[in-house]
Structure 1
Amino acid sequence: MHPIRFKLSVTLVLASFSLLRVLPTVADDGRPNIILIFTDDQGYQDLGCFGSTTIKTPNLDAMANEGVRLTNFYAQPVCGVSRAALMTGSYPIRVGEPGNVKRLHTVPHPQETTIAEMLKTAGYATGIIGKWHLGLSGPAGDDASTMPNAQGFDYFYGTPRYNGATVYVDDSKLRSPILRNQEVVVEAVADWDHITADYTREAIKWIEAKRDQPFFLYLAHNMPHIPLGASENFKGKSAGGFYGDTIEELDWSCGQIFETLKRLNIDEKTLVVFTSDNGPWVETTRAMQPDAAAFIPRDHSGNADPLRGWKMSAWDGGCRVPFIARWPGMIPAGWTSAELLSTMDLMPTFAKLAKAKRPTVTIDGKDGSDFLLRKTPTSPRNEYFYYSGCLLTGVRSGQWKLVLPRAKSPQGLGWWGRMIEAVPESMLFDLEADPGETTNVASQHPQTVTELMKRIEWARTELGDLDRTGSGARMFEKGPRKLQVSPRRKVSAK
C-alpha cells in the first residue's frame, strides 16, 4: 500500500474509535435506557401474573418472570394527581402549581423539575408518547409552559388530557385532539379503537431513532380509561370482556417493545418498568349509590381484588397498582417482593441509575435502585401517606394502615369526593393478613395507633392537609395556597 494511503487509513480508523468513545452510549458507562410504560385506570388484578383468570397477558407475565414483581406498589388515586407524583417525585400536595392553586388534577408549576428535565441534563433523549394530563388549559387552549416540550421532553405525541369521561365517545361533545409536539395532527378523535396500535408504532419509531444514545421513553397509554378502544385483532376476543380486550392489546404492545429492543441489540441495556396510574374506575351507578343512574357497565372497568375500593376511593384499591421491572443481567429474574415502593421513588431511582443530578428541592421519593437490583432485600420506603386531593386520609407503615375519620363525600374534593365513604372513627388494618381492609384492629393495637398518629401529625405539618398548608409545600408565586374547590364547611384537623 502507498505510504500516504496507509497513513490516511490509519487516521480514519483512529478517528472512528475516537468518535465511538465520545458518543453517549449505554455501553460506555453502564447507564440504561429507560422505558416507563404507564397505563390508565388499570386494576391491581388485571394481569395474569397478578391473578386475573379472564385476561391473558403472556408478554407481561414473561416480563415478570424475567424481572421483579412488586405487590405493594403505590401510585395516587386519580389520573392527573398520580402523574404529578410520578413526574416530580413528590406527594402532589407538596408540588407547586400555577397561581398557587391546588387543582383536582395537579398541574406542576413550570419551575418544578420533572423526570424528563432531570434525565435530559444527563444527556438522555426524552420522549413521551401517550397521555400527558399535567397541563394548564383555558379558553385560549393549552398553556405551552405546562406542556411536555416545556417540561423536559424533546418529543411528544399523544393527548394533552384524558380521552373522555363517558362510557362511549358519542355520550359527550368532548373530542380529544392528538398532538405531535405543538402541532395538532388529529383535531378530534372519533373513536379509540386504534390508539394503542398507534402509540406502539410511534414508540418503535422513536426507539429506533434514539438507539445510539441513552434515552428515556414515557409510554403513557390512554387505555383502559373510558371510552375504551381495541383494534380488530383484539376486540371481542378476551374472556374479560371489552375491558379485557384493551388490556390484551396493551400486553401485545409491550411484546412489540421487547421485540424491538432485542432486534436492535439494546435489550440488555434497557430498563423497562410497567405500572398503572391508579386503580380501576368501578362506578356501575353514579357514586355507587343503589338508587342512582347506571353509569359504567361492569365489562368496561377492571378489578382491584383482593383489595378494597377502586379509583378515587381512599382504600388501597384506589392507589395500589401492579408493578413489574425488567433489566436483563441487572435485575435478577423471577422474584417477587411485598416491600413498599411508589411512583414517587422512580425519579431518584432513575437518577441513580442514569448518573443524573436529583432536583435540589425536597422530594418524597426514595432511591430504590439497590432494592430493584437486589443488592439489598429491603426497600428504602417504609411508609406511605394516603391523600384524596389535599385531604389526608391515612398512613401505611409496614403491615399497618391507619385510616382517619372522615365524612362521606368530603367537601373540597370536587367531583371525586363522591367516591369517598364515611369513616366514623379511626381504623387500623393489618394489610398483610387483611388486604381487603375488612377488620378494624385498632383496639387491639393502641400503641401502633399512637405511633402512626405521630406520622400523621408530621405529614400535616410538613406536607399539609385540606385545612392547612404544609411548611414544605412549594409555592413559586406570591400569596397563599388556594384550593380549586373550597370547602363549604371547616374540616377538623383532629
Structure 2
Amino acid sequence: MMNKLILLSALGSLPLCSQAADYTNFIIINLDDVGYGDFSFNGAYGYTTPNIDKMAAEGVRFTHFLAGQPISGASRAGLLTGCYPNRIGFAGAPGPDSNYGIHPEEMTMGELLKQKGYSTAVFGKWHLGSQRQFLPLQNGFDEYYGLPFSNDMWPFHPQQGEVFNFPDLPTYDGNEVAGYNTDQSRFTTDYTTRSVDFIKKNKNKPFLLYLAHSMPHVPLAVSDKFKGKSEQGLYGDVMMEIDWSVGEVLKTLRELGLEENTLVVLTSDNGPWANYGNHAGSAGGLREAKATTFDGGNRVPCVMYWKGKTQPGTTCNKLASNIDLFPTLAEISGAPLPQRKIDGVSILPLIKGEKGANPRESFVYYYNKNDLEAVTDGQFKLVFPHKYVTYGAFVPGNDGQPGQLTNLQLYKAEMYDLRRDPGERYDVITQYPEEAARLMKIADRMREELGDNLTRQKGKERREPAFLQ
C-alpha cells in the first residue's frame, strides 16, 4: 500500500507537459540573411554549428526550401500569412518611412492559432509594418520584443547621408518603445532568454513561438560569450551564437519534456547579402544571392525537428517554401484556414517522411513590385527576361562596408535543370521544349491571377496592404 501511495504521489508531481498532450506547440526560428551554405552540415568554414547539426541529425533537412521572396519584409509577410507576398501587396523591405503594413483582414500565423487557444509570441524582427496598427500585438501575438524592421535601418548605416537618411532605430517591448539604437550585441541573447522564459511559462498549454533573429544581417554584433571565438571572424562568431541560441531552445524543450509535442522549424528569410564580403554568408555554390530570384536569393536552409514524427537524419529534396508553414500549422493544430485565398500548401507529409508525397508541384518567383521572374517544378526552372543585380562584377566589401553592385539584363528566357545544375549556368530550354511549355502554362495561369509587371498584366486576385491615413 505504501509503495502504491509513493507511486501515485510521484505521478501527481510530474508536470502536465510530461503526459501525453493533445496539441502540438510550434517554434519557428527565422534567421536573417543566412545562406544555403552557412551551417556546418552544409559545408560552412571557420566555425561549427553543433546544435543545429544535431537538430538536422535528429530531424529532417529540406534541400529545396524556398523563401516566398528573396528579401526580408516580403519573405516574412509570406511566412506569416501563407501567401505569396505580392498577393497581399507586400514587396521589398519596408522601412521607417513606409506608409503600409499588414492588412487587418489578412490572417497572420498568430491569429490562425489563436483560434485554438494558443499563446503566441514574437521575439526579434517583425517587418510587416512599423506603425502601431501593424505591430504584432494588434495582429495575433500576445508578446513582442524586438525591432520593427531591419537592424541596419538606423543612423549608423555605412551609407547614411549618401544613400540613406535613417532616423533612430526603436526597440519595442510590446507596443512601447523600450529604447533607441540599442546595443545590438545584446539581441541574440535577449531574444533567446525571452524565448526560453516564454516556453517555460507556457509549458502546460499550447504555444507558438516565432523567434526571428536580427542576425546575421549587417551590422553584425555578438556578445562577449562568442566574440573572437571563430576562425572566420565576426561572421563566424555571430553564427556560433545563433547556434547556441538554437541549442538553448532545444535544451529547454528536453528539460520540460516537450519534444514530442513540439515542431521546431529553423530557416532563413532569404539568401546572404554577398556584397558585404566577410560580414556576409555563403550561398553554398548557388547563383547570386539576396535580392535576386536566382536560387542564391530564394533557396534557404531549412531543418525541422519533431521527436517521434520526423525520421532522424532524413533529407527531403521535394519542393517546399516558407509560405507552406502557415497551412501546415493549420493542419496539425486543427485551426481553420482563412476565407481569403492563400498560396501555401501543407507539407506535413514531407515532415513525416511519407513516401511519394509531393504537395507542392510548382513555385513562382516574384520580385520587385510584381515581376514574375521565374517558375520551377523543383527540377526545371524557367527564367524570364528581366534585369537583376549581380554580385560577381566587383570584389565584395569587408568589415561592414558594402561592395559595389551593378545590374545585368537577361534578354531571353532560359531554363535550367536544377538536378544537374543547381548553379543555374547552362540553358537547356531547347533540349526540353515540352518541359518549358509546361512551366510556361503555370506562369501564364499565375499572371492571370496575380499579374506581372514585366508583361503589363494586373492580375485578378491581388489584394492591397493597409495604408496609413
Task: State the TM bucket, normalised to the shorter chain.
Answer: 0.7 to 0.9
User: Which residue of 1 is the match for residue 461 of structure 2?
Assistant: 472
The question of whether the paired residues in 2 share the 8 Å contact of 1:167 and 1:227 is answered with no
Q: Distance in 2 between matches of 1:225 and 1:355?
A: 35
Residue deviations 1:100-120, cap 9 Å, x none? xx6654832121001110001
1:202 to 169, 184, 194: 194
The question of whether the paired residues in 2 share the 8 Å contact of 1:167 and 1:226 is answered with no
Residue deviations 1:305-358, cap 9 Å, x none? 220010001210001000000011111111001111100100010011111111
Q: CA, structure 1 residues 26+315, in 2 after alignment: closer, same or farther (shift >3 Å)? A: farther
User: Which residue of 2 is the match for residue 158 of structure 1?
Assistant: 146
> How far did 1:266 drift?
1.4
Q: Distance in 2 between matches of 1:438 and 1:26?
A: 52
User: Which residue of 2 is the match for residue 176 of structure 1?
Assistant: 169
Q: CA, structure 1 residues 299+174, in 2 after alignment: closer, same or farther (shift >3 Å)? A: farther
Q: CA, structure 1 residues 103+42, in 2 after alignment: closer, same or farther (shift >3 Å)? A: closer
The question of whether the paired residues in 1 share the 8 Å contact of 2:154 and 2:167 is answered with no
Q: CA, structure 1 residues 360+378, in 2 after alignment: closer, same or farther (shift >3 Å)? A: same
User: Which residue of 2 is the match for residue 185 of structure 1?
Assistant: 178
1:265 to 241, 257, 276: 257
2:442 to 442, 455, 458: 455
My pick for the range that moved more, 300-309 or 102-111, is 102-111
Q: CA, structure 1 residues 404+96, in 2 after alignment: closer, same or farther (shift >3 Å)? A: closer
2:424 to 433, 437, 442: 437
1:352 to 306, 309, 331: 331
Q: Secondary structure at the match of 1:468?
A: coil
Structure 2 residue 326 is matched with structure 1 residue 326: no
Q: Distance in 2 between matches of 1:39 and 1:462?
A: 31
Q: CA, structure 1 residues 420+94, in 2 after alignment: closer, same or farther (shift >3 Å)? A: farther
User: Which residue of 2 is the match for residue 421 of structure 1?
Assistant: 408
1:384 to 363, 367, 390: 363
The question of whether the paired residues in 2 share the 8 Å contact of 1:386 and 1:392 is answered with yes
> How far did 1:167 drift?
11
1:121 to 106, 115, 120: 115
Q: CA, structure 1 residues 408+196, in 2 after alignment: closer, same or farther (shift >3 Å)? A: closer
The question of whether the paired residues in 1 share the 8 Å contact of 2:73 and 2:92 is answered with no
The question of whether the paired residues in 2 share the 8 Å contact of 1:31 and 1:355 is answered with no
Question: Considering only CA atoms, is the larger Rg found in Structure 1 or Structure 2?
Answer: 1
> How far did 1:376 drift?
3.7
Residue deviations 1:143-189, cap 9 Å, x none? x2211011100111111111115896576464322111112212322
Q: CA, structure 1 residues 385+182, in 2 after alignment: closer, same or farther (shift >3 Å)? A: same
User: Which residue of 2 is the match for residue 253 of structure 1?
Assistant: 245
> How far did 1:445 drift?
1.3
Q: Secondary structure at the match of 2:218?
A: coil
Q: Distance in 2 between matches of 1:329 and 1:367?
A: 19
> How far did 1:453 drift?
1.0
Residue deviations 1:212-238, cap 9 Å, x none? 100000000000001101111212221
> How far did 1:93 drift?
1.1
Q: CA, structure 1 residues 108+72, in 2 after alignment: closer, same or farther (shift >3 Å)? A: same
Structure 2 residue 200 is matched with structure 1 residue 213: no
Q: Distance in 2 between matches of 1:391 and 1:278?
A: 17
Structure 2 residue 26 is matched with structure 1 residue 46: no
The question of whether the paired residues in 2 share the 8 Å contact of 1:163 and 1:175 is answered with no
Q: What amino acid maps onto 2:146 in structure 1?
A: G
Q: Distance in 1 between matches of 2:86 and 2:428?
A: 29
1:81 to 47, 50, 74: 74
Residue deviations 1:357-382, cap 9 Å, x none? 11111111001112211234423011
Structure 2 residue 321 is matched with structure 1 residue 342: yes
Q: Distance in 2 between matches of 1:192 and 1:463?
A: 38
Q: Distance in 1 between matches of 2:120 and 2:83?
A: 20
Q: Distance in 1 between matches of 2:257 and 2:330?
A: 24
My pick for the range that moved more, 272-281 or 158-167, is 158-167
Structure 2 residue 262 is matched with structure 1 residue 275: no
Q: Distance in 1 between matches of 2:19 and 2:189?
A: 31
Q: Distance in 1 between matches of 2:389 and 2:253?
A: 47
The question of whether the paired residues in 2 share the 8 Å contact of 1:114 and 1:151 is answered with yes
Q: What amino acid maps onto 2:462 in structure 1?
A: A
Q: CA, structure 1 residues 237+368, in 2 after alignment: closer, same or farther (shift >3 Å)? A: same
Q: What amino acid maps onto 2:42 in structure 1?
A: F
Structure 2 residue 120 is matched with structure 1 residue 134: no
The question of whether the paired residues in 2 share the 8 Å contact of 1:127 and 1:155 is answered with yes
Q: Distance in 2 between matches of 1:424 and 1:358?
A: 41
Q: Secondary structure at the match of 1:82?
A: helix
Q: Secondary structure at the match of 1:469?
A: coil
**Percent same amino acid among aligned pairs?**
40
User: Which residue of 2 is the match for residue 396 of structure 1?
Assistant: 376
> How far did 1:461 drift?
0.5
Structure 2 residue 135 is matched with structure 1 residue 147: yes
Q: What amino acid maps onto 2:194 in structure 1?
A: E
The question of whether the paired residues in 2 share the 8 Å contact of 1:89 and 1:344 is answered with yes
The question of whether the paired residues in 2 share the 8 Å contact of 1:168 and 1:227 is answered with no
- In the alignment, structure 2 segments of 5+ residues that lack a partner are 1-7, 95-99, 161-165, 391-404
The question of whether the paired residues in 2 share the 8 Å contact of 1:41 and 1:311 is answered with yes
The question of whether the paired residues in 1 share the 8 Å contact of 2:324 and 2:347 is answered with yes
- In the alignment, structure 1 segments of 5+ residues that lack a partner are 1-12, 284-295, 411-417, 483-494
Q: What amino acid maps onto 2:136 in structure 1?
A: P
Say how many residue pairs are matched. 428
> How far did 1:30 drift?
3.4
Give the TM-score normalised by the residue count of structure 2.
0.86
Q: Distance in 1 between matches of 2:388 and 2:248?
A: 45
User: Which residue of 1 is the match for residue 216 of structure 2?
Assistant: 224
Q: CA, structure 1 residues 51+353, in 2 after alignment: closer, same or farther (shift >3 Å)? A: same
Q: Distance in 2 between matches of 1:69 and 1:107?
A: 32
Q: Distance in 1 between matches of 2:230 and 2:328?
A: 36
My pick for the range that moved more, 467-476 or 34-43, is 467-476
